[in-house]
Chain A
Amino acid sequence: MALLKREIAMLRDVLQSCSSAAVRTAIALRNLCKPPDSFMIAFYRIGFFALLMALWQVAATRMGSNVLPSPLATWQAAQTLVGEGQLIVAIGDSLTVYLSGFAIAIIVGVPLGVVMGGFRVLGKTLEVYVFALAATPRVAFIPLIIVLLGLGVEAKTFIVFLGALMPILINAYAGVLAADEELLEMARSVGTPRGRIFTNIVLPGAVPFIIVGLRIGATIGLINTVVAELYTAVRGLGGLLAIYGNTFRMAEYFVVVLTLAAVGVIVTESLRYIEARVSRWRDV
Chain B
Amino acid sequence: MMSAGDPAERSGDAEVRVVLDRVCKSFAPAGGGDRVSALQDASLTVGSGKFLALLGPSGCGKTTLLRLVDGLIQPDSGTVHVFGAPPRPGPDIGFVFQSFRLIPWAKVSRNVDFSLRDLGLTAAEREERTRRVIKMVGLTRFANAYPAALSGGMKQRVALARALAPEPKVLLMDEPFASIDAQTRELMQIELMRIWTRRRPAVLFVTHSVDEAIMLADEIALMGPSPGKVIETVPVDLERPRWTYDTHAEPRYVELRKHLSSRMRQFVLSDPASEFFGRDLGSPDAMGT
Could you tell me which A residues sit within 8 Å of B by CB distance? Answer: 182-183, 185-193, 196, 200-201, 204, 279, 281-284
What are 10 A-B pairs with beta-carbon distances under 8 A?
A182-B97, A186-B101, A189-B70, A189-B72, A190-B118, A191-B89, A200-B103, A281-B104, A281-B146, A284-B148
Residues of A within 8 A of B149 (CB): 284
| Range class of the B interface residue count | 20 to 34
11 new A-B contacts, CB < 8 A, other than A191-B88, A284-B149, are: A182-B101, A187-B114, A189-B93, A190-B89, A190-B90, A191-B90, A196-B117, A204-B105, A279-B105, A283-B148, A284-B146
Residues of B within 8 A of A281 (CB): 104-106, 146-148
Residues of B within 8 A of A196 (CB): 117-118
The 8 Å CB contact of A190, one of B104, B105, B115, B146, is: B115
Q: Are B118 and A191 in contact (CB under 8 A)?
A: yes
Residues of A within 8 A of B99 (CB): 182
Most buried by A among B89, B105, B114: B105
Q: Are B101 and A183 in contact (CB under 8 A)?
A: yes
CA distance A188 to B95 in the complex (A): 10
CA distance A188 to B67 in the complex (A): 11
Residues of B within 8 A of A201 (CB): 103
SS class, residues of chain A in contact with chain B: helix
B97 to chain A, nearest CB (A): 7
Most buried by A among B90, B99, B103: B103
Residues of B within 8 A of A182 (CB): 97, 99, 101
Could you tell me which B residues sit within 8 Å of A by CB distance? Answer: 70, 72, 88-91, 93, 95, 97, 99, 101, 103-106, 114-115, 117-118, 146-149, 162, 166
Residues of B within 8 A of A193 (CB): 118
Q: Are B103 and A183 in contact (CB under 8 A)?
A: yes
Most buried by B among A185, A282, A283: A185
Q: Are A192 and B146 in contact (CB under 8 A)?
A: no
Residues of B within 8 A of A284 (CB): 146, 148-149
CA distance A196 to B99 in the complex (A): 22
CA distance A148 to B90 in the complex (A): 55
Closest chain A residue to B98, Cβ basis: A182
Residues of B within 8 A of A282 (CB): 104, 148
Residues of B within 8 A of A187 (CB): 114
Closest chain B residue to A185, Cβ basis: B72
B67 to chain A, nearest CB (A): 8
Closest chain B residue to A186, Cβ basis: B101
Residues of A within 8 A of B106 (CB): 281
CA distance A191 to B71 in the complex (A): 10
Residues of A within 8 A of B118 (CB): 190-193, 196
Closest chain B residue to A196, Cβ basis: B117
CA distance A283 to B120 in the complex (A): 34
Q: Are B91 and A191 in contact (CB under 8 A)?
A: yes
Closest chain A residue to B91, Cβ basis: A191
B63 to chain A, nearest CB (A): 11
CA distance A201 to B118 in the complex (A): 15
Most buried by B among A183, A185, A188, A189: A189
Residues of B within 8 A of A283 (CB): 148
